[in-house]
């Protein structure tokens, strides 16, 4: 039987309730995490196993050469982990101008010159060492099994795989890794990734060290040299993830926590800080006024983020200055309820991606995200170990006179980053680990779904399912086709330049949510998984 795998009818997912839960954008990855909990592991063990598995099951979004970030509640306090990688030592504006011309304002979008040091494997090792219960090698077992035996390709992943093929098929190692028959696999077709199984075994046996100072590192540098890259053994060996203090913003009695710059999580905090100056619940949840206010707050946030956020060692302003209540009130005063505006950055100085989350009955909760960025990232795949590499270097500037001079490329510097995990707390106690994937959609999704839950009482799955909008540049807004027609027309009448989009994969992101219902041993958690991807929330 040749089935039609399109989905002609709208369907609703139901929230899942359990004392131990894992929510990811692919069922096999969620089950990999659950296997670790059933084996006696905790939420961190589950998250690492799920993260390793999803590099195989959703390669259109991440791989063994990804970057990662994490926020976790260990039962006592929050911890943040920045596992984004720095630029190779050879990278300078002159390096790129010599190779690509003086008109180039960014590194290239694809190829080795878009690849900074990958941090995801380092994140797995650091999390396991500090918070895990099970042996690190055990956490790699499900991913190795999936890569070796293969899995049947799901609908959403296949669509993105096929769409990326014409763009990436000529890049080093891509066809060998991801086009086993000279094309993208079909829905339901078995895909095996034996090279990645080899890489995962080396990572498992060395607790990740092989990636940065062993056989995988040597293979990466050799492949880089063969194809004009600048990565060196020293670049890889010097890499360490960084433990950081989350930054936060209070909103209607709760506190949203994000990773500090070089990530864009501060955009969600700025937007919520602006919305604190309005009585948002007085407007209908899907009405024109509520959506207009949220859109304008988000645009104001992005105006500052794109101007100031970079590696924190180089920023002109501090996160505290950007989140100062008086400054955010002054930004809120710029919003006109009768028209859309194209906001510019203020002066706060005084005078592509997978997301997963897991929680266990002992109270540990982890919010974890890793990404190759634009779909398959750089398009480069090291063939011996199946290392699909991200393209985060593209977000550097090579123009000293650009919008954000602090983000100018330099050796050992981390670029502006889009992937952001989120964590909600109340009075210093954990409430929800969550995230929404999808480039610049991520802080927008954090804000939109949180407003639905906190201001309008929608449960996590309903907030996840609800139609979204996405700010672009200027007055341009994308809205999902399911958004209320009257609201769409009303936003257009206010001057928003709207495009109704049917493809939700990247345009509107995809989320995973775990909300703590009370004592995890008694009430447990309620979890949600976004229908915009092939995901699943599972628990026991």
Angle subtended by helix axes 194-206 and 215-226, to nearest 10: 130
pLDDT tens string 110-128: 999 999 999 999 999 999 9
- The tokens 């506190």 sit on which residue? 255
pLDDT band at 163 (very low <50, low <70, confident <90, very high): very high
Q: Residue 29: is its pLDDT beyond 80?
A: yes
Q: Residue 216: is its pLDDT beyond 70?
A: yes
Mean pLDDT of the chain: 95
Cβ–Cβ < 8 Å for 26, 536? yes
Mean local confidence (pLDDT), 149-178: 96
pLDDT band at 351 (very low <50, low <70, confident <90, very high): very low
The torsion of the CA quartet 376, 380, 382, 387, rounded to 10 degrees, works out to -30
Contacts from 374-377 at CB under 8 Å and sequence distance 24+?
A: 374/109, 375/60, 375/61, 375/160, 375/164, 375/168, 376/59, 376/60, 376/63, 376/164, 376/168, 376/174, 376/178, 377/63, 377/65, 377/66, 377/114, 377/115, 377/352
Q: Residue 12: is its pLDDT beyond 90?
A: no
Mean local confidence (pLDDT), 294-303: 97
pLDDT tens string 227-274: 999 999 999 999 999 999 999 999 999 999 999 999 999 999 999 999
Which one from 353, 357, 398, 487 is the annotated catalytic residue?
353
Cβ–Cβ < 8 Å for 168, 200? no
Mean local confidence (pLDDT), 278-286: 96
Sheet holding 21-24, edge to edge: 242-244, 78-83, 67-73, 365-371, 354-359, 21-24, 536-539
pLDDT tens string 44-64: 999 999 999 999 999 999 999
3-class SS at 464?
helix
What is the rounded CA–CA span in Å between residue 519 and residue 517?
7
Cβ–Cβ < 8 Å for 124, 54? no
The torsion of the CA quartet 378, 379, 380, 386, rounded to 10 degrees, works out to 120
- C-alpha 347: how far from chain center: 28
What is the rounded CA–CA span in Å between residue 57 and residue 329?
44
pLDDT tens string 452-506: 999 999 999 999 999 999 999 899 999 999 999 999 999 999 999 999 987 666 5
Q: How many residues does the chain have?
A: 540
Q: Residue 281: is its pLDDT beyond 90?
A: yes
Mean local confidence (pLDDT), 318-334: 96
Q: Please indicate whether residue 353 is annotated as part of the active site.
A: yes
Q: pLDDT > 90: what percent of the chain?
A: 91
The region that residue 518 occupies, defined by phi over 0 for left and psi between -120 and 50 for alpha, beta otherwise, is left
For the residues of 402-423, what is the DSSP string, one character each?
SS-GGGB--TTPPPPB----EE
Cβ–Cβ < 8 Å for 358, 53? no
Cβ–Cβ < 8 Å for 33, 46? yes
pLDDT tens string 415-456: 999 999 999 999 999 999 999 998 899 999 999 999 999 999
pLDDT tens string 169-215: 999 999 999 999 999 999 999 999 999 999 999 999 999 999 999 99
What is the rounded CA–CA span in Å between residue 432 and residue 102?
47
The torsion of the CA quartet 419, 535, 444, 160, rounded to 10 degrees, works out to 70
Distances (CA, A) of 427 to 28, 107, 254: 35, 43, 7
What is the rounded CA–CA span in Å between residue 349 and residue 373?
31
Q: Residue 11: is its pLDDT beyond 70?
A: no
Q: Residue 287: is its pLDDT beyond 80?
A: yes
Alpha helices in 323-399 (DSSP H): 325-332
pTM for this model (two decimals): 0.95
Cβ–Cβ < 8 Å for 264, 371? no
Backbone angles phi, psi at 17, to 5 degrees: -120, 130
Tokens of 4: 């039609």
- The tokens 């100072």 sit on which residue? 213
Q: pLDDT > 70: what percent of the chain?
A: 96
- The reported pLDDT for the residue numbered 350 is 54
Q: Which residues contact 451 (CB under 8 A, 6 or more apart)?
A: 275, 280, 290, 294
Q: Work out the end-to-end distance of the chain between its first and last CA atoms, rounded to an integer number of angstroms.
A: 35
- The reported pLDDT for the residue numbered 258 is 98
pLDDT band at 349 (very low <50, low <70, confident <90, very high): low
3-class SS at 256?
strand
Q: Rounded to a whole number, what is the largest CA-CA distance in the chain?
A: 71
pLDDT band at 507 (very low <50, low <70, confident <90, very high): confident
Mean local confidence (pLDDT), 74-87: 97
3-class SS at 435?
strand
What is the rounded CA–CA span in Å between residue 126 and residue 124?
6
Distances (CA, A) of 488 to 219, 335, 476, 510, 519: 52, 19, 13, 21, 41
Cβ–Cβ < 8 Å for 372, 532? no
């Amino acid at each position: 039987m040749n089935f039609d795998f399109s989905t002609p009818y709208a369907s609703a997912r139901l929230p899942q309730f359990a004392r131990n839960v894992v929510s990811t954008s692919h069922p096999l990855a969620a089950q990999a995490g659950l296997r670790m909990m059933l084996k006696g592991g905790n939420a961190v063990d589950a998250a690492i196993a799920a993260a390793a598995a999803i590099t195989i099951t959703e390669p259109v979004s991440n791989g063994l050469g990804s970057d990662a970030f994490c926020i976790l509640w260990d039962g006592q306090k929050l911890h943040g982990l920045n596992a984004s990688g720095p630029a190779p030592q050879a990278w300078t504006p002159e390096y790129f101008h010599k190779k690509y011309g003086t008109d180039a304002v960014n590194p290239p979008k694809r190829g080795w010159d878009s690849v900074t040091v990958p941090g995801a494997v380092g994140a797995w090792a650091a999390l396991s060492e500090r918070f895990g219960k099970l042996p690190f090698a055990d956490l790699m077992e499900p991913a190795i099994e999936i890569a070796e035996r293969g899995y049947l390709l799901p609908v959403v992943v296949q669509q993105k795989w096929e769409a990326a093929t014409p763009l990436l098929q000529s890049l080093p190692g891509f066809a060998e890794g991801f086009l086993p028959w000279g094309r993208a696999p079909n829905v339901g077709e078995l895909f095996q990734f034996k090279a990645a199984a080899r890489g995962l075994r080396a990572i498992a046996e060395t607790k990740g060290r092989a990636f940065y100072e062993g056989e995988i590192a040597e293979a990466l540098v050799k492949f880089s040299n063969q194809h004009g890259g600048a990565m060196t053994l020293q670049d890889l060996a010097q890499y360490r993830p960084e433990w950081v203090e989350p930054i936060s913003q209070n909103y209607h009695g709760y506190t949203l926590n994000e990773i500090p710059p070089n990530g864009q999580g501060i955009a969600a905090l700025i937007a919520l800080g602006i919305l604190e100056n309005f009585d948002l619940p007085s407007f209908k949840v899907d009405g024109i006024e509520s959506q207009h206010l949220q859109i304008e707050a988000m645009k104001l946030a992005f105006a500052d983020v794109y101007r100031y956020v970079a590696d924190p060692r180089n920023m002109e302003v501090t996160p505290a200055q950007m989140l100062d209540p008086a400054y955010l009130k002054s930004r809120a005063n710029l919003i006109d309820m009768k028209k859309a505006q194209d906001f510019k950055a203020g002066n706060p100085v005084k005078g592509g991606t997978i997301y997963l989350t897991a929680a266990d009955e002992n109270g540990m909760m982890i919010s974890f995200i890793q990404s190759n960025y634009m779909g398959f990232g750089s398009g480069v795949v090291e063939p011996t170990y199946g290392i699909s590499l991200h393209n985060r270097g593209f977000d550097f500037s090579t123009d000293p006179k650009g919008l954000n001079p602090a983000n100018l490329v330099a050796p050992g510097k981390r670029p502006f980053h889009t992937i952001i995990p989120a964590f909600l707390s109340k009075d210093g106690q954990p409430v929800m680990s969550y995230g929404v994937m999808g480039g610049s959609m991520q802080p927008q999704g954090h804000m939109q779904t949180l407003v639905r839950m906190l201001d309008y009482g929608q449960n996590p799955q309903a907030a996840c399912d609800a139609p979204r909008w996405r700010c672009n540049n200027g007055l341009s807004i994308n809205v999902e086709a399911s958004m209320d027609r009257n609201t769409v027309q009303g936003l257009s009448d206010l001057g928003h330049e709207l495009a109704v989009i049917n493809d939700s994969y990247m345009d509107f992101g995809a989320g995973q949510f775990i909300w703590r219902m009370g004592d995890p041993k008694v009430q447990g958690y309620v979890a949600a998984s976004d229908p915009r991807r092939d995901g699943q929330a599972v628990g026991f």
